A = this chain, B = another copy of it.
Amino acid sequence: MAATLHDVALLAKVSIKTVSNVVNGYPYIKDSTKTRVLEAIAALGYQPNLTARGLRLGRTGVIGLAVPELRLSYFAELADAVIRAADRHGIGVQIEQTNGDRDRELALITSARRQLTDGLIFSPLGLGNEDAALLAVGYPLVLLGERIFDAPADHVTMRNVEAAAAATRRLLAAGRTRIAVIGAHEGEVYGSAALRIRGYRDALQEAGLPVDPALIRHSDMWHRANGATTVRGLLETGVPFDAVFGLNDTLALGAIRALQAAGVRVPEDVSVVGFDNLDESEYSHPSLSTIDAGRDEIADTAVRLLLERIAETGPKAPTRRVEADFRLVERESIGPDRNAHHPHNRQDQPA
């Protein structure tokens, strides 16, 4: 059906090699033949068969991206950024969803489908640091997130501890001292939850404030419903609090919802801050203060590192680790900064 190099060669009355040379921009071709070939290509609507090229070259021009699930806004926005970055390099992206399930994650990294991609950007959720050795796979791999540190793979991560400390410090600057955290993961040492809580503790200690375990609320899932439920639970305990730090925006948005439903005003009674800077956080009511942990930079970097690995021919460079920059995005939900001498400097004030 589709025209092949062979068909073009026949029509242009040259060899198949010459057509290939033209297609691949080989410089030493007589202008007249080149023109003839180009005409034949146009006439037949020839397009190179990428599968055949992939077989020959050992590269397909497609990378894989494995995330827990796209319905989680963070991963949708991450995938969006990865696809854009890859597209700038002329590379396609095949997406896998793991549901954060360890078995699925394990199956995925050795799946035959990996053969159709030149490398994988992988954001694990079920695997942990103890699984690091399993990630010594035979193809280029870039890890995202905080679940695994010691793997023999490049790693792009965010400054969880520092960013969480910055968020907490800003709550303290708003005059809050009883800051609840929602979304903690029981017994976790690494992982986003644990690291962000470490930053929270750091900031409290730095301010000479105690860390009240009653204010650290668990929630395995980080969906909106969990944020709401967790805050309702907190309200029921009667433990006083004047701020909520949602370990991600989705939790924080759920928290705002539950607070308002309970007649608690945000930020007058309780300040709220999240983490991730989702698109929608700018449009919640009140708009959500949050940490922009560098999602787009992470996507760009992950794609760049992966493509570098794929292009690598000789000895492998040592594995690299990159931390993206973060910034605090101040919006309505946090309340004024009492230490601020220049309130007009505040960012991201919605109209």
Which residues of A line the B interface, CB within 8 A? 1-2, 47-52, 54-55, 60-62, 69-71, 73, 76-77, 79-80, 83-84, 87, 92-97, 112-113, 115-116, 138, 223-225, 228, 253-254, 256-257, 260-261, 279-280, 282-285
Q: Which residue of B lies closest to A58 (CB)?
A: B51
Please, which residues of chain B bring their CB within 8 A of the CB of A279?
A: 71, 223-224
CB distance from A102 to the nearest CB of B (A): 17
Number of copies: 2
CB distance from A296 to the nearest CB of B (A): 11
CB distance from A25 to the nearest CB of B (A): 15
Is A48 in contact with B87, judged by CB distance below 8 angstroms?
A: no
Is B115 in contact with A47, judged by CB distance below 8 angstroms?
A: yes
4 A-B pairs with the lowest CB-CB distances in the bound complex, closest first: A76-B76, A224-B283, A70-B80, A50-B115
Is A55 in contact with B51, judged by CB distance below 8 angstroms?
A: yes
Please, which residues of chain B bring their CB within 8 A of the CB of A93?
A: 94-95
CB distance from A171 to the nearest CB of B (A): 22
CB distance from A235 to the nearest CB of B (A): 14
Q: Among the listed B1, B51, B95, which residue makes an inter-chain contact with A83, where contact means beta carbons less than 8 Å apart?
A: B95
Is A77 in contact with B70, judged by CB distance below 8 angstroms?
A: yes
Is A115 in contact with B51, judged by CB distance below 8 angstroms?
A: yes
Is B283 in contact with A261, judged by CB distance below 8 angstroms?
A: no
CB distance from A85 to the nearest CB of B (A): 11
Given A50-B115, A228-B283, A261-B285, A80 and B61 contact (CB-CB distance below 8 Å): no
How far apart sit A22 and B224, CA to CA, in the bound complex (Å)? 48
Please, which residues of chain B bring their CB within 8 A of the CB of A76?
A: 70-71, 73, 76, 79
CB distance from A246 to the nearest CB of B (A): 13
Given A76-B70, A76-B71, A138-B1, A49 and B115 contact (CB-CB distance below 8 Å): yes
Please, which residues of chain B bring their CB within 8 A of the CB of A261?
A: 285
Is A283 in contact with B97, judged by CB distance below 8 angstroms?
A: no
Q: Among the listed B50, B60, B84, B256, which residue makes an inter-chain contact with A285, where contact means beta carbons less than 8 Å apart?
A: B256
Please, which residues of chain B bring their CB within 8 A of the CB of A50?
A: 112-113, 115-116
Interface centre among A76, A87, A284 (most CB of B within 10 A): A76
Is A51 in contact with B51, judged by CB distance below 8 angstroms?
A: yes
CB distance from A292 to the nearest CB of B (A): 15
Given A51-B51, A94-B93, A280 and B77 contact (CB-CB distance below 8 Å): no
CB distance from A59 to the nearest CB of B (A): 9
Please, which residues of chain B bring their CB within 8 A of the CB of A95?
A: 79, 83, 93-95
Q: Which residue of B lies closest to A2 (CB)?
A: B138
